[in-house]
């Protein structure tokens, strides 16, 4: 049956419109997908680059940070070749000769012996000394020294602390004011074997704890003894005066 001219005229425009619309959606979809892929790809690249940058910076920074605080590093021998008690025999502007009095078990240079003489440079690099304090290191004084080996010399690792005494067992720190100083002196007197320290801050004053035992504040005890002694003298003096007045 032949097509009605009216029907023929209506069908073709609709078909053409449908084809054009489908083509537009197809092209638009491919264009949108391409933009999304480009954006997503660039975002991924940025994220990967950012992650690699952070990782690289962390790699550079981490090796320069301490795995322990300085006194703890000294106790454990972390990044420290030798730990000794020594007496300064000669000293110049840039180095000094040290006679070893005692070698602590944290030592990692097996050839070192008591009475050996070693040369130490760069005293100002000790982390607990200012440049001015480094100038006070002098002949005849004795020190606890934390050192690293550098060719034929030794250089500072952690701290240096002045002591008095003949050996580790009777050594006393010249500056002994803080809990850290007290812990360090106990460490020295134990020959480097006592390292289990903690600090109790629950009271009015912090207290050093060694192997679970609270250490008495010796300075405070001495002050209390002097206080009691003073009161006793005062009581005796007043009592004597009263007795003399009664006799008169």
pLDDT in tens, 229-248: 567 677 677 666 767 666 66
Q: What is the mean pLDDT of residues 160-175?
A: 96
Q: What is the pTM of this model?
A: 0.62
- Per the prediction, the chain carries an average pLDDT of 78
pLDDT of residue 166: 94
Per-residue pLDDT of 43-62, as tens digits, reads 555 555 555 656 555 544 44
Encoding tokens for residue 61?
A: 């920074």
- Bigger pLDDT: 234 or 37? 234
According to the model, what pLDDT value does residue 219 have?
Answer: 47
* Residue of higher predicted confidence among 34 and 82: 82
Alpha-helix runs per DSSP H in the chain: 5-61, 70-76, 131-134, 179-189, 218-247
Q: Is residue 139 within 8 Å of 152, Cβ to Cβ?
A: no
Measure the CA–CA gap between 165 and 141, rounded to whole angstroms: 10
């Amino acid at each position: 049956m032949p097509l009605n001219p009216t029907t023929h005229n209506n069908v073709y425009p609709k078909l053409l419109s449908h084809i054009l619309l489908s083509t537009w959606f197809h092209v638009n979809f491919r264009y949108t997908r391409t933009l999304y892929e480009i954006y997503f790809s660039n975002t991924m690249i940025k994220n990967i680059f950012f992650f690699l940058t952070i990782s690289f910076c962390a790699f550079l920074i981490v090796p320069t940070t301490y795995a322990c605080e300085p006194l703890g590093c000294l106790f454990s021998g972390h990044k420290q070749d030798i730990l000794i008690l020594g007496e300064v025999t000669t000293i110049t502007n840039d180095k000094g000769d040290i006679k070893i009095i005692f070698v602590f078990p944290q030592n990692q240079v097996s050839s070192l012996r008591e009475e050996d003489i070693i040369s130490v440079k760069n005293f100002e690099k000790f982390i607990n000394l200012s440049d001015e304090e480094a100038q006070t290191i002098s002949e005849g004084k004795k020190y606890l020294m934390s050192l690293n080996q550098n060719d034929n010399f030794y250089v500072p690792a952690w701290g240096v602390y002045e002591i008095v005494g003949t050996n580790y067992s009777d050594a006393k720190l010249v500056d002994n004011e803080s809990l850290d100083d007290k812990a360090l002196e106990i460490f020295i007197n134990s020959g480097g074997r006592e390292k289990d320290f903690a600090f109790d801050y629950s009271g009015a004053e912090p207290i050093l704890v060694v192997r679970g035992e609270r250490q008495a504040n010796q300075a405070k005890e001495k002050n209390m003894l002097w206080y009691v002694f003073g009161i006793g003298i005062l009581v005796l003096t007043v009592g004597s005066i009263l007795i003399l007045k009664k006799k008169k």
